[in-house]
Amino acid sequence: MLRQMIRKNISLQPSQVKNFVETASKCNFDVDIYYNRYVVDAKSILGVLGLDFTQNLTVEFSGHNAEFEQYLDSLAVAG
């Protein structure tokens, strides 16, 4: 059974990266974060630090982790 991909638009600051990666790493499924065509593994601190934090970012995943989803909601932007 294929799971539906969930996408959340967030705003992330460099000071929030460590907590974001730690929270994403608790998920037992793949989590990607991207803007435009630049996609990185959300569990990679170096990958996430390479993103442009002046842009709204999109997080994409296909599993369920209540703590992670609640954390994303705290970073959510309209769109």
Enter the pTM of the model.
0.91
In a domain, 60, yes or no: yes
Q: Read off the CATH number of the domain in which 54 is found.
A: 3.30.1340.10
Number of domains in the chain: 1
The Cβ of residue 65 has, within 10 Å, a number of other Cβ atoms equal to 17
Q: Is 79 exposed, middle or buried (0-12, 13-18, 19+ CB in 10 A)?
A: exposed
Answer yes or no: is 1 within a domain.
no
Nearest CA to 32 out of 22, 42, 44, 24 is that of 42
Range of the domain at 57: 6-75
Within a domain: 19: yes
At residue 79, the pLDDT reads 60
In a domain, 49, yes or no: yes
pLDDT in tens, 39-67: 999 999 999 999 999 999 999 999 999 99
* Residue 42 counted as domain residue: yes
